[in-house]
Amino acid sequence: MATRREPEEYSPSIYSQPSMNYSRAGTMRTMSSNSIDTISTVSSVSGRSEGTIVPTHTNITRNSVEDFSDEKAGAVADQGNLGQPPNSALLNFSRIARVGTFYTPLLDEQPTPPPPHFSQPESPHHSIYKNAEASVSRRKTANVPDFGFPLPRFIIRGIISIIIPIALVVYYFLTWWRWLRFPEGSSEVWQRTGILDNVNIVNYSWFVIATFALNLGTYAVAGSVAAMVMRKRWAPKNFRRLIILSGNTFQDPAGWFNALVKLFRKRRLYKRNGALWDILAFFSIIGFAAWPLTGLTMQTEDGFSISRRYKGEQVFVVGRNHSSINGRDGALTTSRVTTFWSSGFSPQMPLRKQFYVTPGSSIQVNVSSSDNTLPDDASESIFLAPQSTGPLIGSVFGLAIRYNCSVVNSTSQFTVLSRRNDTFDLDGNSTASGYILSDTSAILLRNKSSGINLISNVNGSLELGTSMSIYDLSDPTDSENIGYASIFKPYPGLNSTVVLEAALWQSISPIDSYGHINVNPENFNFRDAENHIPELRNSLRYPGQKAVGVRCEASSAIGTAIINGVDGTYKDFTQLNATIRNGGGIKRFETGIPHMIVQTPYIPPNLQFPNNVDWFSALYSSIEMSSLTTNAFGDFLGAAPSVLQAEDLKKAILRAYKTHAIHIMYDGLTDPTFAWKLENVTIGTQAMVLARGAVSPEIVLGMLIAWALAIVILSLAYQFRRRWTETLDGYTIFRFGVDRPDDVVPEMLAGEFENAAALERLPGMVGDLEPEKEVGYIGLVRGGQEADWGKRYG
């Protein structure tokens, strides 16, 4: 009888073993393979019933331990065909005992030479046999119909995986934009309206979110991984890597540590875990570092919240207004402010202690706390307004001032004292304490010998020049035009600068004794003038003395302006005139300074004013410059360790400007007891504000954006594709491993799975085991076919 070779049928299998597959109903399903290492042999045997052919697929390999002989196969055939026709026996055998053995070499092994093929003789039942074989070759999952099901989509998980990371990053971005992008002390953290007013909730929310954000990221990535292992580009190269991915070790610090250990030991990190694991671990590390740091990028501080809903609230303030600013006697006020300055009191504003600058000014205003002091350089104008317990917004009355001082190193820098008369009153016949220049500006003189002498070892003389006309400098009792009232002409405004120049000649000498107290000069370091003006050294009037010089400019005006306590600015200043007061009102800001320095509340036009004042010691005490002592109890020695240097003189005059300004608006009171109601303004209420913390929020924001982009991109690319399971979990891996190959016995899997070499020889890609079938089968494939979205699977 002629024989023919039965064609082999290839079907890449997840199981990769000689096996018999059983359905849940108890029917054995045969699996055939056309692997190059598989030899399929069809044996024909004779039985009791002539012409009955029993197909037996025997896969012969070097490792096979089963061998069905012709006699055993014939016996089975004879028993199955008793009392039945040949064709019926064949079909009954196929239905009841569908036996098929096969072997697919998924494990890496060397192929062996194939044994000879045996062919079965031609028979009339040959076509029946072929149909029976084809009908039983397809794999089938329990409870799945023969026509299969399409791979499912997990739309809800994909949507959540996109929305959650984006929502978290957007929330942090809004927190940064609302609070954290501003520098420390910025007023922009004060919110008028908005949903993020409760900074405690915002601050604490980030500690809660940081606890769960990483788990939310794991949830989002898990669906993407399940889809990525079905793509050739990302599929693991072996089953061990697939197990590692299923455990989400790329999001576990222990997994990172183990990977680093392998890297340093074997320098094979990429080969050990795979490219997909490395990429996922990289972005997981970014998220793991970023989320705990979010809470360290912010901190709560005491501040104020301003809202338009507080506009109807009554606001009480302290300070002068338009009707009261000129209601004080000028001479009495000057005497009071001179005493404050001479005593060394630091000029402090009351309550909120806030001044205002023009928008874009370089002068820094601390609007977040009550520790503002007037700046040393107010070349750009500042505005002093009534003070309250919180920041104010609205139109108010106040005092606008400008001032600045600089050290003079040459007489060419003077504009008034450069025209001084060095021979004035050399014979001492004049009773005047100064003289008037040709443009009616004045130079005032003070000599230490004409005053009280409290510092015995320093000799000093002062020349004070001002560009102000003597008629504006003096204050006759029948004129009020020296203040902010206008009778004969408008007073000079903010743009009319008044120059004040001071030259102080000094010399110092050591002392041997003070009274009955002996003094060792070696115990003290007596400093002479260091930054003096060379042209004024050893002048005719002050021989043996060195001069230091300072030049100042100042101007002022009263009026209304719109202030904004949130950012510390003012705008739309409108100059006003004070109410007229008979007998002369308060001296203007720039007018009162010469009176304070020469220690007189009244400068007559003839410049004859009393000399029984200690003007020289006042310069020392105004800047709290210490004098020498003789013992541990601080007894005054009556001597100074140094002359007033140029910077000391500058500091003393600046303090005079600041002290006078504060007395004009607030009477020098830092804790006033009288307050009055201010209309049409909005005040801030005390509240917590959110400020920048110890960690830069910009760095953390960048890390969170990178973390979220990685998750969103993977979700968009893979989460909405059809896949065989929702996540790559342990149960899925168990389903792939329950029918392990016969070559992989339990002894090979003892110990840690990473040490099981057999796992590295199994494929790691999840694909279609039967790509040529109409209904496919999902399993592990080596370089196999990707699953088809439009195909059904059983």
Question: Letter for the amino acid at 624?
Answer: E
Write the pLDDT tens digit of every residue in 593-647: 999 999 988 888 888 888 788 899 899 999 988 777 666 666 666 788 889 999 9
pLDDT at 640: 85
Tell how strand 775-776 and strand 792-793 pair up. parallel
Q: Which range scores top for mean pLDDT: 106-120, 439-453, 648-662?
A: 648-662
Q: Which range scores top for mean pLDDT: 157-166, 311-320, 325-334, 445-454?
A: 157-166
pLDDT at 449: 60
Q: Are residues 652 and 777 in the same domain?
A: no
pLDDT over 60 (residue 38): no
Per-residue pLDDT band for 232 (boundaries 50, 70, 90) equals confident
Burial class (CB in 10 A: 0-12, 13-18, 19+), 366: middle
DSSP 105-172: --S-----PPPPP--EEP-TTHHHHHHHHHHH-S---TT--TT-EEPP--HHHHHHHHHHHHHHHHHH
The least confident of 228-242, 375-389, 512-526 is 512-526
Q: Is residue 142 in a domain? A: no
Q: Are residues 31 and 125 in the same domain?
A: yes
pLDDT over 80 (residue 544): yes
Q: Are residues 551 and 669 in the same domain?
A: yes
More confident call, 121 vs 510: 510
Last residue of a domain, one of 650, 683, 716: 683
Quote the CA–CA distance of 502 and 417 in Å, as a whole number: 8
Question: What pTM was estimated for this model as a whole?
Answer: 0.63
3-state DSSP assignment of residue 30 = coil
Write the pLDDT tens digit of every residue in 469-491: 888 888 654 444 568 887 777 88
More confident call, 755 vs 290: 290
* Tokens, residue 653: 């005059």
Q: Is residue 697 in a domain? A: yes
Q: Are residues 581 and 677 in the same domain?
A: yes
Domain count for the chain: 3
- Which element (helix H / strand E) includes 76? helix 70-81
CB 334 within 8 A of CB 664: no
Q: Is residue 147 in a domain? A: no
- Which element (helix H / strand E) includes 292? helix 275-294
Last residue of a domain, one of 137, 169, 200: 137
Burial string for 703-728 (b: 16+ CB within 10 Å, else e) reads bbbebbebbbebbeebbbbbbbbebb
Radius of gyration of the chain (CA): 50
3-state DSSP assignment of residue 7 = coil
441: which strand partners? 469
Share of the chain above pLDDT 70, in %: 71
- Which element (helix H / strand E) includes 616? helix 615-622
pLDDT over 80 (residue 653): yes
Q: Are residues 475 and 350 in the same domain?
A: yes
Quote the CA–CA distance of 672 and 669 in Å, as a whole number: 6
DSSP 176: I
pLDDT over 90 (residue 585): no
Q: Are residues 584 and 708 in the same domain?
A: no
Q: Are residues 673 and 713 in the same domain?
A: no
Nearest to 411 by CA among 234, 598, 249, 536: 536
Q: What is the mean pLDDT of residues 181-203?
A: 74
Q: Are residues 632 and 732 in the same domain?
A: no
Q: Is residue 304 in a domain? A: no
DSSP 194: S
Per-residue pLDDT band for 29 (boundaries 50, 70, 90) equals very low
Which domain covers residue 226, as residue numbers? 155-299+692-793
The least confident of 131-145, 270-284, 425-439, 746-760 is 131-145
Q: Is residue 146 in a domain? A: no
Last residue of a domain, one of 625, 653, 683: 683
Q: Are residues 52 and 189 in the same domain?
A: no
* Tokens, residue 179: 């609070």
Q: Are residues 762 and 733 in the same domain?
A: yes
For residue 676, how many other CB atoms are within 10 A of its CB? 12
The least confident of 145-149, 317-321, 357-361 is 145-149
pLDDT at 744: 61
Q: What is the mean pLDDT of residues 569-591?
A: 86
Tell how strand 3-4 and strand 378-384 pair up. unpaired
Q: What is the mean pLDDT of residues 537-555?
A: 93
Per-residue pLDDT band for 416 (boundaries 50, 70, 90) equals very high
Quote the CA–CA distance of 594 and 660 in Å, as a whole number: 11
Q: Are residues 425 and 483 in the same domain?
A: yes
Quote the CA–CA distance of 387 and 366 in Å, as a whole number: 15
pLDDT over 80 (residue 387): yes
CB 217 within 8 A of CB 211: no
Q: Is residue 185 in a domain? A: yes
Q: Is residue 218 in a domain? A: yes
N residues, the chain: 794
Write the pLDDT tens digit of every residue in 675-718: 999 988 988 887 888 889 999 999 999 999 999 999 999 999 99
pLDDT at 2: 44
Q: Is residue 310 in a domain? A: no
Per-residue pLDDT band for 243 (boundaries 50, 70, 90) equals confident
pLDDT over 70 (residue 565): yes
pLDDT at 513: 64
Q: Are residues 162 and 127 in the same domain?
A: no
Average pLDDT, the chain: 76
Write the pLDDT tens digit of every residue in 776-786: 888 888 776 78
The least confident of 121-135, 377-391, 459-473, 592-606 is 121-135
